[in-house]
Amino acid sequence: MNIYIGNLNWSASSEDLKNLFSAYGEVSSVNIVNDKFTGRSKGFGFVEMPDAGSAQRAIDSLNGQSFMQRNITVNEARPREDKPQRERRQYND
């Protein structure tokens, strides 16, 4: 199950999230989303747990809890919606 974690402290690392979620079961991957220009965390990420029961226990236990001085939002990740492409302007000199 893919789990969304929001309101993350910008200094949180993948290892921090892995340690937090490992208390509930096996963690197969962790991905903290970074800004492509600054490289700084955008304050959210995803944790993949292969066992749905363990993942649901983690969601139920961690949603709204304090983690690194921030109350995190934890829920099942929804599929990404495709956004319409922004129209690119062409400039003619």
- CATH code where residue 17 lies: 3.30.70.330
Using the predicted structure, report yes or no on whether residue 86 has a pLDDT greater than 70.
no
In-domain check, residue 69:
yes
Average pLDDT over residues 36-49: 95
In-domain check, residue 35:
yes
Q: Supply the pLDDT for residue 83.
A: 61
The total of other beta-carbon atoms located within 10 Å of residue 13's CB is 15
Q: How far apart are the first and last CA of the chain?
A: 51
Q: Are 77 and 46 spatial neighbours (Cβ–Cβ below 8 Å)?
A: yes
Calculate the average pLDDT of the chain.
91
In-domain check, residue 24:
yes
Whether the model clears a pTM of 0.85, i.e. scores above it, the answer is: no
In-domain check, residue 11:
yes
C-alpha–C-alpha distance, residues 15 and 54, integer Å: 19
Q: Supply the pLDDT for residue 81.
A: 72
In-domain check, residue 87:
no
Distance set, CA 67 to CA 6, 11, 33, 59, 73 (Å): 11, 11, 17, 13, 10
The number of folded domains in the chain is: 1
Q: Supply the pLDDT for residue 80.
A: 73
Count the alpha carbons within 13 Å of 7 in the hemisphere toward its beta carbon.
Answer: 14
Q: Supply the pLDDT for residue 10.
A: 93
